[in-house]
Structure 1
Amino acid sequence: MNNAGRDMKIIATGLLVLMAVIYFTSRTFEEVHPAIGFVRAFAEAAMIGGIADWFAVTALFRHPMGLPIPHTAIIPRNKDRIGDTLANFLKNNFLVSRIVAQRMHGVDLAGGVGRFLKSPSGGEGRLRMGASRLIGDIIGSLDQDRLGSMFKGAVKTQAKELDLATPMGQILESVMAENRHGPLIDSTIKWAYRTLDANEYVIRAIVHDRANTVMRWTGLDDRLANEVVDGLYKLLADMATDPEHPVRAKTEESLVQLAQELKSDPALRQRVNEWKLEMIENPAIANWIDGMWESGREALLKASRDPEAAMAGHFGDALMQLGSSLQKDPLLNRQLNRFARRAVAGVVASYGDNIVKLVSETIRGWDAQTITDRVENAVGRDLQYIRVNGTLVGGLVGVMLHLLNHWIY
């Protein structure tokens, strides 16, 4: 029992002893004056009430006076049932996805994160440092493999549900509308020129392999290959120098059409989605997600251990900008809160039973003395107040009965 509970236990026991002293003293001198009878009645009933409440409180945790009286030592005898009941209570009232989602619906997690990132120096430094260390300890103590699997699974799930075709179409449409596609086409032409220069021999080999014997004997295959290569070089050069070149214009028309089809053509959207799913399942993407998780985890640990350093430099400026965006952009705020709500509900749905099992098995693993001490430390002070109240209330009832006795008789 903690110090506060121990002090209250001494007070409650001392009050009971005091009532016993008053009772025997008043009983000795009861004939001196009729009023002493009320004192005796108060002390007598107070002793009865105090002893009864002492028995009730003690019976919760142990056998009173070591006697194996039936229905005593209730908590030690029923610790397994208490653990199962507590676990089921958590499962039925807290670890339910629907309930968690409802509770999370009113939580503005994005707003809180945004306020902190925008003004990391606000608030109490000690509280911030303590919270950072606590977060670091929690991250460090979690099962790295299991947490990593959860993170990678969440990333893959979100990626599979992501509509990639629509934003691609919108971005391309915006680029074309603002006439920012010129550098893109120029870069493509330069890439094509470098590719042609590096693979010129491939074109010549193709022409040579497909030429017949006569062409090879007369050397026409080499002349034809030169014409093809020179024509391609000239086409790329003309496209690079002439913004109004027909091929460039046709390319722009194709890009505009592609932007529209990405937003409205079901067949193209389906192909983009299939390409996205193939990319997600690609081992290279899996390795990239693994690396992102490891880097993110190390960064979180480093930042939580030293939040002041984490908020310094360009990274800190970027975090502050993110905090400002979370506060000013309602769409981003809503998306982050929705993601957090789904993530928490998903964790509850996936691991709720494991949490319940952990609580139940942990309590089952405690010995009787451990659970008795822990419960008594938690509620012992209030239980000692019950003893004090029982003593005083019993005394008042005794006075009332003594007075009623005088009225009747």
Structure 2
Amino acid sequence: MIVPGTFSFDAPGDAARAAELRRVKALATLVLAATLALFITAKLLLHVHPAFGFVAAFAEAATIGGLADWYAVVALFKRPLGLPIPHTAIIQSNQHRIADKLGEFIEVHFLEAAPVEAKLRQIDFGSFIADWLRDRKRSDDLARFALRLLPEAVSATETSGLMTFISRRITTQLQGIDLAPLAAGTLRGFVQEGRHQGLLDDILRVVHQSLTQPETMAVIREKIRDELPTLLKLYRADKFLVKRIVASATTFFEEVRDDPQHPFRGEFNRMLLSFVDRLGSDKAFADRLDGLKRDLLARPELGDLARNIWSNARSFIERSASGETQVLQQHLAGMFVKAGEALAADAELRAEINQGLVAVLRSFVADQKSGVSSFISDQVKAWDMGQLIALIEINIGKDLQYIRFNGALIGGLAGLALYTMELLLRLL
């Protein structure tokens, strides 16, 4: 496990790169030793033949070039031979300045609004979300995860007093509703759509059925008998009157039901519209409705009903979260899949999601980029530079060692060229 300020050297290929670095270092050192030996040998053989002068000049300059580049490469990371030479161990000595400049560079050149927005617009967030949700396994996992969180959310809601606050807010909102205009508007729309005619037909049907019930006819007959003179009772006039009343009512009900233009229907329309007008303008009606509303909201049964519903919902959520029932999880998963399918089929919605996420993320990056810069700077300052340098050497040290080869070769060629020019000048 990597902890802040440390690095892992277990990445694939690190061991091979470290071995290759050691091999190239040894080879570069061997080249330096070879040029030095060649220089000494050429100097010793200079009296044998003048050509050894050219070899000595090349080897001498190559040795100097190799030594100079060895010093430059080592001074970048360490103090050559451990000596406290000024301007060496450059990376270690400038760790804090490098950290600040790196953070500033990232903030200025990588987190600017324009390149960030351009990169974000290349990402199709909407399609990614749609594809993710359409995958049944992912939707199942998401539903399972959501269900695991629900019991804790319910408990937090109960213990935090949020339920009391919500209940009070709902009650306050309900108490603030003016029912009279709302009821008047609803009834007016009901009448304008003609749905009250169906209600009238139902009322007439129920009244007719009630009127023709034997029990109802017996009660009416008894009332009529109480009002009739004794003589008419002897002739059973009460039975005749009941039959006539029922027959007349039946005929009337059938006429109204069969005739859409029946005058009674028009009277019923006028009665309802008159009631709607009074409901919307008469303060007495409004006061009665408000009183009814207050009485209803004050009923303890309403609170008991709400608590019972909440308790049952909580129990169902807990059973679903424990896996006792799969109904809610399957419903949630199906809902997520359908949402993904709907999103995949709606290009306009995906475009809106992409645009919204780009705006949100662009604003977030703009607000946090200075924090990112500070975070990067603090992280670099906390690094173990010995480990960092070892990591850098493993990855780019091989290329740096080739500088030593190039220094020896270029230095040797430069020395050879200068030696040749010197001889030519002497001959002139």
Structure 2 length-normalised TM: 0.45
